[in-house]
Amino acid sequence: MCGRFVSTTSPDQLADYFRTGPPTGHASDIGARYNVAPTQGVLTVLDDGGPRRLDVFRWGLVPFWAKDPRIGNRMINARAETITEKNSFKRPFATKRCIIAADGFYEWKKTGGAARKQPMYITRVDGAPFAFAGLWDVWDDPNHTDRAGDPMQLHSCTIITTQPNEAISEIHDRMPVMLPPSSWNEWLDSDNDDVDSLARFLVPAPSRLIRIHPVSTEVNNVSNDRPDLIEPVGVS
């Protein structure tokens, strides 16, 4: 799974990198974060029928049909192998795909017995942001309305995971789907509902593209959000 990541590249730089328009919504207000957790806002690239844009969506997918938005707390990841079977994901996979930007992510490696886990930090070897494959949806809040009397809307997203590559398999049995730039146009195309063709992107990225190092257990506490969290540490 992917349950914690790092987002330090500025929204303006991400807009250039992903070839979007200027950041929209609250995206321009997002600063560097070193311990992004579920239910928080994450920088998301999408094409919903207009120009490609960079916005902020809540991490944890809330399907449009949900009765309670807390369902999103359990939907931070979508398994690639069952994405066309699950009611929560099959419709967004066909119509609402996105990219979730991250500079790195954490996974926990079992060491010294099952009870002890060492946090590991994973980044790209070239220092560029990851483009995690994601899905998004819009939920209308029946209990809150805007000034026009329309339901308030919650935009949320999930990260698609797949089998690990060789490097990640030493740490965890899942990894985020990492999209190469050559796939971005097809993946984000809101008019493309060819799920059989899109499924070919849901594979592990090559091990040679990533690097991994151990970091402090301070990252275990979601309230910690400091640059030193991603610094390498020795392992006893």
- Known catalytic residues are 2, 107
The residue type found at 176 is P
DSSP 48: S
CA distance 44 to 133: 10
Helix ranges, 116-209 (H):
166-169, 184-188, 195-198
Q: Are the CB atoms for 76 and 38 separated by under 8 Å?
A: yes
Secondary structure element (H or E) that encloses residue 14, with its range: helix 11-17
Q: Are the CB atoms for 133 and 186 separated by under 8 Å?
A: no
The residue type found at 203 is V
Assign 3-state DSSP to the chain and report helix, strand, coil percentages, each to 5: 25, 35, 40
Q: What angle do CA 26, 102, 3 make, to 5 degrees?
A: 100
CB atoms under 10 Å from CB of 197, counted, come to: 10
CA nearest to 7, candidates 51, 61, 56: 56
Give the CA dihedral 23, 21, 9, 166, nearest 10 degrees. Answer: 120
The residue type found at 173 is D
